[in-house]
Amino acid sequence: MLGNSVFSCFVFYSTLLILKMYTLAVITGQVRLRKKAFANPEDAERHGGAHFCRTDSYVQRCQRAHLNDLENILPFLFLGAIYSMTGPSLVIAQGHFLVFFLGRVVHSVAYLFALKAPTRSLAYTVAQVPCVSMAIQILLTVGFNG
């Protein structure tokens, strides 16, 4: 499968996206430690006492950014893998994967740094365009060949 240049390109961008998701998880953990805002009593006890079992608005912001990645990157992984098998042009596929990746990076940065609206929603929308395009192309390919 890695002999397929479109699939190899997809694997490259997918791996970058997974690393980005791991980075958000690490950031969330570091913010928890810095803010001393732990979700579980045993963690709070280990880091200063039960009163640190609490919420923090910035920890919640990091969690929302991570959750948003899960909600959007997981469907991309499915769509991109199937799309790669439909025989698309390498240049067009690279464009799809790159636009999605950049949109998700900008979205995460906008979320973490609370950038002015509509930065985050524009980044979200830009990243959705290649997903919708891939989904349509998959349906057209399967509909005509299935």
Q: Is the pLDDT of residue 36 over 90?
A: yes
- Specify the CATH number for the domain of residue 14: 1.20.120.550
Domain with 17 in it: 5-145
Residues 118, 105, 134, 79, CA torsion sign:
negative
Look at residue 53 and give its three-state secondary structure. Answer: strand
User: Which 8-state DSSP code applies to residue 142?
Assistant: H
Contact yes or no for 111/65 (Cβ under 8 A):
yes
Position 143 scores a pLDDT of: 86
Contact between 58 and 29 under an 8 Å Cβ cutoff? The reply is no
The type of residue at 132 is: V
Question: What is the domain count for the chain?
Answer: 1
Per-residue pLDDT band for 134 (boundaries 50, 70, 90) equals: very high
